[in-house]
Structure 1
């Protein structure tokens, strides 16, 4: 019985995991898959497309489909946002990348009137001044995430949070210095396809989706002190969430 595109993709993924096809290796093309699995050309094409969509492989038009050679970043949300992480002077990013080369680029810090969705998230009046921090994260030479954080300007104006480099421990350590340490976080996550501008900013391979996260940081009193909009290359991440019942 002919296999489905999903079954073929799973088999190819297993062969990638076993090392048969290493990073940068060219995967069998549609004709080879048609012959090997006894399926229609459309099924073979769908199997390769599944691997591309999942971030396992990428397509070079006119050349073939290749195994991605970027080691995924394991993002453990509960670890990176723990107070023990940022209060010790470490950035939340150090929990993700360990000793891998990481660079923060395209840093911009400015004030602006709060968009309505930001005002709602931070319990501000529409149009109230907010401080905006935007940046791009590059790991192993590849851009993997764009992030933009919003704060009530009255809270952080004139503090290190308004500087490109907020210092050891990042903005959460500086919020603690201001007497407003975040103790609770809410993340809303979805996956979608990027806009052309987003794909260009993250240098995304064709057909690569993005992970979009909105995170709200709150004090013990329930006051929201930051809303962070993150856009991530879905092919560069493994999202891990640990829970206890």
Structure 2
């Protein structure tokens, strides 16, 4: 058993090394004063300063942040009501069908989703740009929020709702004072995940963005095609660090969510 555990740990270390080595390689050379990704000649902040001096890049970064915040907020609201709708469907077959359809959207290839949105926006006459990117990000973020909120709804005892109604609570009171406080950890987790997905998305955004509007992922791709520039390394490093902070925030929300149930088990 010990031998198998060592092999499993070694395998995990190897997998994480393969995944993270290119990222740390990119980050390492973002500080190279030599201007290349071959020989590290000295430490410099020049490329990070260039990123912050690039007005166009700052505008694109603000576009990306606005899209991410708006899409995460709207998709969180829609995702909460979507999870509630699935939860209170009485027929089990219908409930399972809705959950399957929701999960299919999560695992579907981004290229297919992006191409579908492009065709749809072209057909209905929506101009490619801010609106098309925002709508597409909301669409692929809602299923993520649903899958984060739904388990919390399933954990909640129906006796809480019944007790609130027996005490004279209206449907709005039940939603705002009973259900929402209980599922808050799932809501925050869904929001952080939606925000992270929006910031990182390239494939879908590449299809639905138009002239005069871009996001950081599309801009990095465009600049990378023009040749090696360590400003790309610096920009990618900043995006990675921001994403890391968001993921850590999601992790701590999950930990906070797990503590009450863990304490309850120990008391019993």
Greater C-alpha radius of gyration = 2
* Structure holding more strand per residue: 1
TM over 0.5: no
Task: Specify which structure has the bigger relative contact order, considering alpha-carbon pairs within 8 angstroms and separated by 6 or more residues.
Answer: 2
Tell me the TM-score normalized by structure 2: 0.24
